Structure 1
């Protein structure tokens, strides 16, 4: 968890404690407040100590129980402020993968130029349906989330219409590992590699592949997307980060440009894809 995120969570917890102690009718102890809310008293101390992130429902219940409902808007704004940047998968996927895909689609729809890097998976913008289906299934299992896989696949396919709009540019870099990772059956990966080969030469998509044998100036890790010059989207196992400050956008842009120095394009990229494809012919 990032230091900024944790500091913000601790600050919210300190404010919750302050409100509890400044209750108009007299301060409440943690166990007393827990009793009013029907919560285990440990939850009070976890929230106040920044060990657990409050939900909007928690904040509404808290402010009602201490007789200060007007404080809800302030607390909700604090929560929204740090959850805008760090969006836990547990919360995002509580309603399934389709809503997450639709929120991403909305951001991409208002974007003209995308710079993307993926080190271990084919980017969603150029996935075919069968490949996407297996990716969603793996993550649904990992996070024990609702398995709205077909709805998520359709939402992701809808995003790909962006590639066929005049004036758009998708500059994407992929590490060779993504061409060989069997997140799906070999036959599905073979079809996906054929799709990649067909994308080379599109006027809206510039595909570069960083081969295993290329010298690299930075560790090829941590996939991310830069939308115009306004937003970076990157993922970790526990959360997705949306970063809109100038310093982080500049950092990720520098990383993308550094990785690009090691990438192969055109016929050379075709050769890397064909080499990966040929290894699948005997696997079925």
Structure 2
């Protein structure tokens, strides 16, 4: 059983526990309402047992929240494969995926990432993230749970301030200019990116348009320590933990990093992008 499967199951269990607690029920009372053994409720909440779709529907009903049954089943569907279509993974909304990201970040010391057209989620402002989530849900035809997703994305960003962590990110210069939001929102986002450069835990490189490259930018990817690569495409997200994939993506990151600029030079490119917004 893969580590991402187990992590996702723990996250699902935490969501079940949250729903039970919102109804003011303890584990024993909740089990009695369901007609289950208390040990089953405990195993599901701790992520030690995989629920069935009927278990999740019963849980939602017992918690007085039948409206979340589809969300819970969407989470269950996302457990089973390393090739996860967005329609399937986001069937319960973006908040689900953000909770998985929080859990994965918590068990990682060093994250390396590369983004072609977006500011990395760990560095996004609430307003920028709001526009990204809204547009993506419309494109994928999945539930709009923008505010919950934004809150979880900002919660994940707390890791940026934890000593001992490293966040090494590369962005293509084009990501500083792509307008997925109004210009004023983009201006605030670029200001935020400049402030990120000063964090001890963050290393931010910008790959200029003019850079000579050994590896052309193709798609975004994130590397978690040396155990997992997450790759995003238009229709799916791939979770890769085999040695060959890890080696290949680490090489891609290293080659792209060779062309990046940092510190004052990165600051200058970000400032130039902000000036081009012409907000006067």
Q: TM-score, normalised by structure 1?
A: 0.70
* Residue among 71, 82, 85 paired with 1:85: 82
1:198-277 alignment runs, 5 A limit: 198-277=195-274
Q: Does 1:128 align with 2:125?
A: yes
Deviation for aligned residue 1:219 = 1.2
Deviation for aligned residue 1:242 = 0.3
Q: State the alpha-carbon separation in 1 of the partners of residues 197 and 88 from structure 2.
A: 37
1:1-284 alignment runs, 5 A limit: 83-282=80-279
Q: State the alpha-carbon separation in 1 of the partners of residues 172 and 85 from structure 2.
A: 26
Bigger radius of gyration, 1 or 2? 1
Q: State the alpha-carbon separation in 2 of the partners of residues 146 and 84 from structure 1.
A: 21
Q: State the alpha-carbon separation in 1 of the partners of residues 143 and 207 from structure 2.
A: 35
Gaps in structure 2 of 5+ consecutive residues: 1-51, 55-76
Give the superposed CA RMSD. Answer: 1.9
Q: State the alpha-carbon separation in 2 of the partners of residues 225 and 157 from structure 1.
A: 18
Match of 1:94, SS state, is: coil
Match of 1:134, SS state, is: helix
Q: State the alpha-carbon separation in 1 of the partners of residues 250 and 80 from structure 2.
A: 23
Q: State the alpha-carbon separation in 1 of the partners of residues 255 and 53 from structure 2.
A: 41
Q: State the alpha-carbon separation in 2 of the partners of residues 137 and 90 from structure 1.
A: 15
Deviation for aligned residue 1:281 = 2.2
CA contact 2:83–2:236 (8 Å) conserved in 1: yes
Q: TM-score, normalised by structure 2?
A: 0.71
Query: 1:70: which partner in 2?
Result: none
Q: State the alpha-carbon separation in 1 of the partners of residues 174 and 218 from structure 2.
A: 11
Q: State the alpha-carbon separation in 2 of the partners of residues 201 and 174 from structure 1.
A: 17
Match of 1:194, SS state, is: helix
Query: 1:71: which partner in 2?
Result: none
CA contact 2:206–2:261 (8 Å) conserved in 1: yes
Deviation for aligned residue 1:104 = 1.4
Match of 1:95, SS state, is: coil
Q: State the alpha-carbon separation in 2 of the partners of residues 202 and 103 from structure 1.
A: 25
Q: State the alpha-carbon separation in 2 of the partners of residues 81 and 158 from structure 1.
A: 21
Q: State the alpha-carbon separation in 1 of the partners of residues 131 and 229 from structure 2.
A: 25
Deviations 1:15-35 (A, max 9, x none): xxxxxxxxxxxxxxxxxxxxx
Q: State the alpha-carbon separation in 2 of the partners of residues 152 and 185 from structure 1.
A: 20
Deviation for aligned residue 1:221 = 1.9
Aligned length: 208
Match of 1:222, SS state, is: coil
Deviations 1:234-265 (A, max 9, x none): 11111100000111011000000000000000
Deviations 1:6-52 (A, max 9, x none): xxxxxxxxxxxxxxxxxxxxxxxxxxxxxxxxxxxxxxxxxxxxxxx
Deviation for aligned residue 1:201 = 2.4
Q: State the alpha-carbon separation in 1 of the partners of residues 104 and 81 from structure 2.
A: 13
Gaps in structure 1 of 5+ consecutive residues: 1-54, 58-79
